[in-house]
């Protein structure tokens, strides 16, 4: 199922969250959880009704983290291209805000 990009997401008042990273020595200290909780609440206050995250299929740990945050509705698949030209497959998952 293709990802509903740009225009489709705008009609639904959706936002894509990208590139969450935690430096290894700061993992398991709650920083990601604090940031995610703040962002989801802020997006909700701003009127967004849906948030979408993308995960590479082999990133099981990341997928599990996002599922714990409620990103469990499949929203399609796609390809992302890194600045160096590397193309990766991405699975998208959504969460209703509100």
60 occurs within a structural domain: yes
Could you read off the pLDDT of 59-82 as tens digits, one per residue? 999 999 999 999 999 999 999 898
pLDDT for the residue 86 = 93
pLDDT for the residue 54 = 92
24 occurs within a structural domain: yes
pLDDT for the residue 49 = 92
pLDDT band at 11 (very low <50, low <70, confident <90, very high): low
29 occurs within a structural domain: yes
Strand partners, 81: 87
Residue 53: CATH number of its domain: 3.40.630.30
Angle (nearest 5°) at CA 21 between 20 and 26: 135
Strand partners, 92: 54, 76
Could you read off the pLDDT of 29-58 as tens digits, one per residue? 999 999 999 999 999 999 999 999 999 999
42 occurs within a structural domain: yes
82 occurs within a structural domain: yes
Number of structural domains found in the chain: 1
Structure tokens at 46: 């701003």
1 occurs within a structural domain: no
11 occurs within a structural domain: yes
Q: What gap in Å lies between CA 7 and CA 34, rounded to an integer?
A: 30
Nearest alpha carbon to residue 75 among 61, 98, 96? 96
pTM over 0.75: yes
Structural domain boundaries enclosing 72: 6-96
Mean pLDDT score, 13-38: 88
User: Is-contact 66 53, C-beta < 8 A?
Assistant: yes
**What secondary structure does DSSP assign to 26-57, as a single string?**
GTTSSHHHHHHHHHHHHHHHTT--EEEEEE-T
């Amino acid at each position: 199922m293709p990802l509903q990009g740009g225009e489709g997401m705008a009609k639904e008042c959706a936002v894509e969250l990208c590139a969450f990273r935690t430096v290894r020595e700061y993992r398991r200290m709650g920083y990601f959880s604090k940031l995610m909780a703040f962002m989801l609440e802020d997006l909700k206050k701003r009127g967004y009704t849906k948030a979408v995250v993308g995960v590479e299929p082999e990133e099981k740990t990341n997928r599990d983290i996002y599922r714990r945050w409620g990103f469990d509705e499949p929203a399609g698949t796609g390809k992302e291209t890194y600045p160096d030209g590397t193309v990766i497959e991405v699975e998208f998952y959504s969460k209703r805000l509100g």
